């Protein structure tokens, strides 16, 4: 049950981003914001839900058609992340 009202002022570019995202997902802006709060500050101690949401919300990435090239890129990305 929703029983608290929150007023937040945002600039026009942020509002337009929220409006577009809500339209794409077929949700009211308020629901979109509640989902963002849950993803960011939810009770998931491991952050798995937020991580999954970031993965699913990420834009498509070009993938090499050659499986060996993809494997090389993944190994390089993994090595860079582990050495950093």
Is residue 64 assigned to a domain? no
55's tokens: 């993965």
Is residue 65 assigned to a domain? no
**Contact assessment for residue 29 and residue 19, using Cβ atoms and an 8 Å cutoff:** yes
Is residue 17 assigned to a domain? yes
User: What gap in Å lies between CA 71 and CA 69, rounded to an integer?
Assistant: 5
Is residue 83 assigned to a domain? no
* Overall size of the chain counted in residues: 84
Of 16, 38, 13, 42, the residue nearest 29 (C-alpha): 16
Q: Which domain holds residue 45?
A: 1-59
Is residue 78 assigned to a domain? no
3-state secondary structure of 46: coil
Number of domains in the chain: 1
Read off the pLDDT band of 48 (50, 70, 90).
Answer: confident
80's tokens: 């860079």
Provide mean pLDDT across the span 77-84.
Answer: 86
| In the predicted structure, residue 54 carries a pLDDT above the cut 70 | yes
User: What gap in Å lies between CA 67 and CA 73, rounded to an integer?
Assistant: 10
| In the predicted structure, residue 71 carries a pLDDT above the cut 80 | yes
pLDDT of residue 61: 85
């Amino acid at each position: 049950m929703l029983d608290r009202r929150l007023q937040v002022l945002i600039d026009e570019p942020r509002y337009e981003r929220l409006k577009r995202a809500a339209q794409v997902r077929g949700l009211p802006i308020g629901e979109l914001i509640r989902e963002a709060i849950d993803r960011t500050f939810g009770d998931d101690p491991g952050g798995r839900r937020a991580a999954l949401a970031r993965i699913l919300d990420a834009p498509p990435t070009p993938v090499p058609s050659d499986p060996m090239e993809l494997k090389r890129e993944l190994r390089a990305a993994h090595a860079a992340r582990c050495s950093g």
